[in-house]
């Protein structure tokens, strides 16, 4: 019964969310006023087949990460999120785990930044959501899975980046990210996913192990970054990180000075990215 009710709840809430509200293109004929299954899957970072099996009651025991991702994609309130966890037979994450819930107030903020590249990370620097302009600027992160969604993992294990970095800037960023992760581990000592991430980083990155074991101290700060975009060319932007008090969310925002060539290139690549997503 719980599996059936979980699927019904997901379907009901999916019908409630308009594609425009979720930042998805609304073109073409639609059989439902809300999100299609493939759109929900894209927003939640899971497969369409799994969404289908969940809604039809053919998949049981969704993980806490999947339930959290669905709650986020469906824009559930705090009470609705707790109800969805209950239907999955799970308790909502407690105060000893890294928060991954995007509050309605933060979601409203994101909704107002539709022309600005914005990404939201949790306290461990795991990507929760990136809007279409961010995907257009940095590359579409929707296919990233597991540790690939973590910014510390991506920076330490040499994933390709469009951001230009001097060796000094790269070392400073690595130090800041590891120091920040250490502080997060101190705040959430019971978080099993965070402990697994740290163990994986230790096992796969000598640089991480060196910084972690040395007790490196640093801080992730605002910076000007040059992004080499494959269509728009080099774009120099201000990158600011806002940490939300009480939820430990990191909101990363890229902006350009108005009236500059960089502002024009940012507007161009945003349009190019949107056309690519629609096509």
Kindly report, as residue ranges, where domains of CATH 1.10.260.40 are found in the chain. Answer: 2-23+31-87
Residue 195 has phi, psi (to 5 degrees) of -65, -40
Res 278 pLDDT > 50? no
Res 1 pLDDT > 60? no
Residue 272 has phi, psi (to 5 degrees) of -60, -45
Average of pLDDT values for 189-197? 94
| pLDDT at site 76 | 92
Does domain 104-278 fall into CATH 3.30.70.141? no
How many percent of the chain have pLDDT more than 90?
59
DSSP 163: B
Res 95 pLDDT > 70? yes
Question: Residue 204's CB: how many other CB atoms inside 10 A?
Answer: 13
> Do 191 and 98 meet the contact criterion of CB atoms below 8 Å apart?
yes
220 pLDDT band, cuts 50/70/90, is confident
| pLDDT at site 8 | 94
Average of pLDDT values for 82-109? 89
Residue among 181, 182, 115 at smallest CA distance from 151? 181
Place domain 2-23+31-87 in its CATH homologous superfamily.
Answer: lambda repressor-like DNA-binding domains (1.10.260.40)
> What's the whole-number average pLDDT of the chain?
89
Average of pLDDT values for 67-88? 92
DSSP 77: -
Query: CA-CA distance, 55 to 83, in Å (whole number)?
Result: 16
| pLDDT at site 279 | 36
Greater confidence (112 vs 235) lies with 235
Query: CA-CA distance, 57 to 13, in Å (whole number)?
Result: 16
151 pLDDT band, cuts 50/70/90, is very high
| pLDDT at site 104 | 83
Kindly report, as residue ranges, where domains of CATH 3.30.450.180 are found in the chain. Answer: 104-278
> Do 33 and 13 meet the contact criterion of CB atoms below 8 Å apart?
no
Query: CA-CA distance, 85 to 92, in Å (whole number)?
Result: 6
Res 117 pLDDT > 80? yes
Query: CA-CA distance, 26 to 52, in Å (whole number)?
Result: 21
193 pLDDT band, cuts 50/70/90, is very high
């Amino acid at each position: 019964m719980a599996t059936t009710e979980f699927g019904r709840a997901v379907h009901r809430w999916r019908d409630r969310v308009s594609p425009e509200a979720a930042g998805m293109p609304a073109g073409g004929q639609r059989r439902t006023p809300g999100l299609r299954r493939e759109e929900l899957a894209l927003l939640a970072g899971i497969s369409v087949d799994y969404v289908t099996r969940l809604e039809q009651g053919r998949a049981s025991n969704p993980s806490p990460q999947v339930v959290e991702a669905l709650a986020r994609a469906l824009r559930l309130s705090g009470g609705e999120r707790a109800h969805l966890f209950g239907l999955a037979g799970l308790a909502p994450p407690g105060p000893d785990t890294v928060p991954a819930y995007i509050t309605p107030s933060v979601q409203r903020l994101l909704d107002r930044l539709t022309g600005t590249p914005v990404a939201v990370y949790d306290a461990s620097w795991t990507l929760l959501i990136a809007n279409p302009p961010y995907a257009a600027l940095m590359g579409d992160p929707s296919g990233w899975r597991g540790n690939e969604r973590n910014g510390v993992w991506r920076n330490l294990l040499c994933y390709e980046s469009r951001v230009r970095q001097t060796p000094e800037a790269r070392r400073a960023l690595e130090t800041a990210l590891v120091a920040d992760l250490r502080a997060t581990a101190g705040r959430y000592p019971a978080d099993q996913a965070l402990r697994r991430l740290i163990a994986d980083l230790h096992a796969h990155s000598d640089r991480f192990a060196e910084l972690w074991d040395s007790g490196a101290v640093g801080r992730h700060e605002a910076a000007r970054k040059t992004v080499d975009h494959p269509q728009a060319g080099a774009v120099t932007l201000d990158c600011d990180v806002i940490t939300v008090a009480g939820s430990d969310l990191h909101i990363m925002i890229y902006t350009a000075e108005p009236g500059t060539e960089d502002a024009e290139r940012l507007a161009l690549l945003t349009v190019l990215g949107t056309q690519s997503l629609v096509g």
